[in-house]
């Protein structure tokens, strides 16, 4: 199906997915558009038959269909050395925080968004991921035999044919806001937390487009390992990941350096802001104990 919606039409139409008969001001808050723009777009969508009586119509749902996210790819092959000793016998994504496996918070959100084509790239203690099948029988596993000799670019290398129309998620993120995983996306984007200063991986942004990926910055967006790649960008990224992986030193790269460093300027990836409380990356065992006191023994 052909993509026919303008960006603002897409944003307003998606706002109606959560319910009916929103006030114009509520729509302004949900879309971050001005009142005049919302009024105009709502009128246009009514004229097109995509909205009627304050609700999205069947035609409106059909107009959104070309923007549906088709699959999710989880990068889950690493050792998680900074979470030792708990990761000596358990892959980091399977570590439980307050009784729930870290990866479950992500899988549940993906399924809630209606995405049922889910792939997990596994490596370290790979067989332990089989336990997920009891709860999630729809999962597909991709083996990464190079996880111990290459960085996480190797995981994306083995899953590269699946990147189009897909979320790529670091499997060790504790997701508190499942609404970040949306069923429809307009264009390629990467999650980021706006910060005054950080020593971590971050993005500088021009407009709403990522300009540069750096380590440490001010007035920037701290990188969060959840991204969406459009059909065009995902197809291109599959080729570029392979090229980068096979070049000298390529195995030492992080996969996201391919679009932002190795192929800088080739991709137009939007920043998708989120809050620090929406998602947590537990980097160390000390941080894990702080969040879940049951480990403090």
SS3 string, the chain, reads: CCCCCCHHHHHHHHHHHHCCCCCHHHHHHHHCCCHHHHHHHHHHHHHHCCEECCEECHHHHHHHHHHECCEEEEEECCCCHHHCCHHHCCCHHHCEECCEEHHHHHHHHHHHCCCCCEEEEECCCHHHHHHHHHCCCCCEEEECCCCCCCCCHHHHHHCHHHCCCEEEEECCEEECCHHHCCCECCCCEEEEEEEEEEEEEEEEEECCEEEEEEEEEEEEEEEEEEEEECHHHHHHHHHHHHHHHHCCCHHHCCCCHHHHHHCCCCCCCEEEECCCCCEEECCCHHHHHHHCHHHCC
Residue 272: pLDDT band (50, 70, 90) is very high
d(CA 21, CA 78): 46
User: Are 265 and 221 in contact, with CB atoms under 8 Å apart?
Assistant: no
User: Are 193 and 272 in contact, with CB atoms under 8 Å apart?
Assistant: no
- pLDDT at position 62, please? 96
Q: Does 21 have pLDDT greater than 80?
A: no
Per cent of the chain over pLDDT 70 is 99
Residue 43: CB atoms within 10 A of its CB come to: 11
Residue 195: pLDDT band (50, 70, 90) is very high
Q: Nearest 5 degrees, angle CA 181-CA 186-CA 190?
A: 55
- pLDDT at position 27, please? 82
Distance of CA 44 to the CA centre of its chain: 31
Residue 209: pLDDT band (50, 70, 90) is very high
Rounded average pLDDT over 267-295: 93
Residue 93: pLDDT band (50, 70, 90) is very high
Residue 66: pLDDT band (50, 70, 90) is very high
User: Are 119 and 162 in contact, with CB atoms under 8 Å apart?
Assistant: yes
Q: Does 187 have pLDDT greater than 80?
A: yes
Distances from the Cα of 279 to the Cα of 95, 124, 162, 178, angstroms: 16, 24, 24, 9
Q: Does 22 have pLDDT greater than 80?
A: no
- pLDDT at position 31, please? 81
Strand partners, 66: none
Query: For all residues of the chain together, what is the average pLDDT?
Result: 94
Rounded average pLDDT over 205-231: 96
Nearest to 12 by CA among 29, 1, 47: 29
Q: What is the CA radius of gyration of the chain?
A: 20
Q: Does 60 have pLDDT greater than 90?
A: yes
Rounded average pLDDT over 11-32: 82
d(CA 166, CA 128): 25
Per cent of the chain over pLDDT 90 is 82
User: Are 128 and 90 in contact, with CB atoms under 8 Å apart?
Assistant: yes
Of 31-45, 49-63, 186-200, 234-248, which range is least confident? 31-45
User: Are 145 and 123 in contact, with CB atoms under 8 Å apart?
Assistant: yes
Q: What is the pTM of this model?
A: 0.94
Strand partners, 281: 173
Q: Does 18 have pLDDT greater than 90?
A: no
Residue 159: pLDDT band (50, 70, 90) is very high
Q: Does 13 have pLDDT greater than 90?
A: yes
Q: Does 274 have pLDDT greater than 80?
A: yes
């Amino acid at each position: 199906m052909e993509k026919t919606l303008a960006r603002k039409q897409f944003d307003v139409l998606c706002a109606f997915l959560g319910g009916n008969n929103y006030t114009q001001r509520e729509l302004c808050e949900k879309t971050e558009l001005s009142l005049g723009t919302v009024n105009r777009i709502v009128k246009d969508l009514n004229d097109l038959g995509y909205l009627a009586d304050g609700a999205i119509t069947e035609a409106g749902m059909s107009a959104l269909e070309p923007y549906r996210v088709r699959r999710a790819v989880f990068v889950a092959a690493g050792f998680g050395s900074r979470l030792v000793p708990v990761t000596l016998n358990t892959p980091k994504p399977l570590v439980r925080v307050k009784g729930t496996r870290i990866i479950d918070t992500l899988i549940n959100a993906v399924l809630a968004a209606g995405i049922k084509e889910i792939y997990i790239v596994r490596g370290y203690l790979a067989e332990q991921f089989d336990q997920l099948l009891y709860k999630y029988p729809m999962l597909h596993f991709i083996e990464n035999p190079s996880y111990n000799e290459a960085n996480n670019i190797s995981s994306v290398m083995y899953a590269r044919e699946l990147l189009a129309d897909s979320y790529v998620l670091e499997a060790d993120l504790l997701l508190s806001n499942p609404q970040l995983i949306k069923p429809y996306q307009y264009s390629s984007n990467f999650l980021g937390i706006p910060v005054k200063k950080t020593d971590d991986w971050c993005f500088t942004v021009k407009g709403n487009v990522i300009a540069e990926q750096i380590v440490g910055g001010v007035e920037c967006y701290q990188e969060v390992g959840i991204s969406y790649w459009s059909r065009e960008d995902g197809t291109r990224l599959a080729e570029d990941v392979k090229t980068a992986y096979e070049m000298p030193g390529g195995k030492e790269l992080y996969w996201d350096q391919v679009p932002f460093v190795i192929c800088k300027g080739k991709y137009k990836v939007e920043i998708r802001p989120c809050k620090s409380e929406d998602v947590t990356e537990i980097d160390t065992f000390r941080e894990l104990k702080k969040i879940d006191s049951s480990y403090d023994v």
